[in-house]
């Protein structure tokens, strides 16, 4: 690991964190160590921002809302994918040390910023777009919140597309064509949406060679989802739905 202290003789101080940040681009990179002063209620995003503002303006990373809504600041923290704006340093620091790397399973643009193109392309490939059954002039459809279909859709709907599940998924790392937990979870929420008209082609898309049947139910996605969604359960629902469609001759 290369050292970039910025501040001298502070390595022994417990008031400072030793932070290894992955620096590089698509051709490769390495961990560079920084000394960062500890603050109360400090988040991982605070640490990265402090390094960029105080020690290395060339550090690239991505964030927007800083309150856990936009899903843009996810990174690997001590080898675990996390939303950095809502992850407190005190909860994840190990022996005063942090390692912060770009998300797994996605190509790196520079430093901590990943190229999300393939992640969102798969979202489209799984037909994650809402396709309304009714036109603007039609009366508004009544949706009862306690029907089983609506409950299943609601359980999957709070995804912020942070790609943490995608980074946590071993199947994605083995099978780059696999649609991944986020896209399949989105498809499941739409397949249970009674207002949507694209069910048949969406089911065909998620039951394809790269689709839901490749999931091994490891449940890493559910374990690390910051919004506590369960994409594994959604994918299991897709498997059941596709299997029944094949048995009934509708797929």
Q: Which residues lie near another protein (CB under 8 A)? A: 171, 174-175, 177, 207-211, 213-214, 239, 242-243, 245-247, 251
Rounded to an integer, what distance in angstroms lies between the CA atom of residue 40 and that of residue 19?
17
116-155 as b/e: b if 16+ CB within 10 A: bebbeebbebbbbeeeeeeeeeeeeeeeeeeeeebebbeb
Structure tokens at 154: 């609601």
Least distance to another protein from the beta carbon of 177, Å? 8
Contact present, 98 and 20 (Cβ < 8 Å): yes
Rounded to whole angstroms, what are the CA distances from 186 to 6, 156, 159? 44, 7, 8
Closer to another protein by CB, 211 or 231: give it: 211
Closer to another protein by CB, 23 or 239: give it: 239
Closer to another protein by CB, 214 or 234: give it: 214
For residue 142, report the phi and psi dihedrals to the nearest 5 degrees: -85, 130
Contact present, 187 and 198 (Cβ < 8 Å): no
Least distance to another protein from the beta carbon of 216, Å? 9
Least distance to another protein from the beta carbon of 100, Å? 29
Least distance to another protein from the beta carbon of 237, Å? 14
Least distance to another protein from the beta carbon of 25, Å? 25
Closer to another protein by CB, 2 or 247: give it: 247
Nearest to 199 by CA among 231, 166, 241: 241
Closer to another protein by CB, 151 or 246: give it: 246
Least distance to another protein from the beta carbon of 225, Å? 23
Least distance to another protein from the beta carbon of 66, Å? 37
Closer to another protein by CB, 7 or 251: give it: 251
Closer to another protein by CB, 89 or 205: give it: 205
């Amino acid at each position: 690991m290369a050292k970039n202290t910025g501040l001298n003789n502070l390595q022994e101080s417990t008031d400072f964190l030793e932070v290894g940040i992955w620096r590089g681009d698509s051709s490769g990179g390495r961990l560079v160590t920084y000394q960062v002063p500890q603050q109360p209620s400090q988040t991982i995003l605070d640490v990265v921002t402090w390094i960029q503002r105080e020690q290395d303006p060339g550090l690239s990373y991505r964030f927007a809302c800083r309150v856990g809504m936009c899903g843009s600041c996810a990174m690997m923290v001590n080898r675990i994918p996390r939303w950095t704006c809502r992850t407190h340093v005190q909860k994840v620091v190990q022996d005063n040390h942090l390692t912060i790397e770009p998300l797994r399973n996605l190509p790196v643009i520079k430093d901590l910023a990943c190229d999300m193109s393939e992640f969102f392309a798969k979202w489209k490939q799984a037909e994650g777009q809402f396709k309304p059954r009714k036109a603007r002039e039609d009366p508004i459809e009544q949706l009862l919140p306690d029907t089983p279909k609506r409950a299943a859709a609601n359980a999957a709907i709070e995804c912020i597309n942070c790609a943490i599940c995608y980074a946590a998924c071993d199947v994605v790392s083995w099978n780059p064509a696999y649609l991944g937990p986020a896209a399949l979870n989105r498809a499941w929420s739409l397949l249970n949406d009674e207002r949507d008209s694209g069910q048949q082609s969406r089911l065909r898309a998620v039951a394809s060679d790269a689709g839901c049947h490749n999931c091994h139910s490891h449940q890493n996605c559910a374990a690390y989802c910051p919004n506590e969604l369960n994409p594994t359960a959604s994918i299991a629902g897709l498997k059941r739905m596709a299997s029944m469609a094949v048995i009934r001759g509708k797929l």
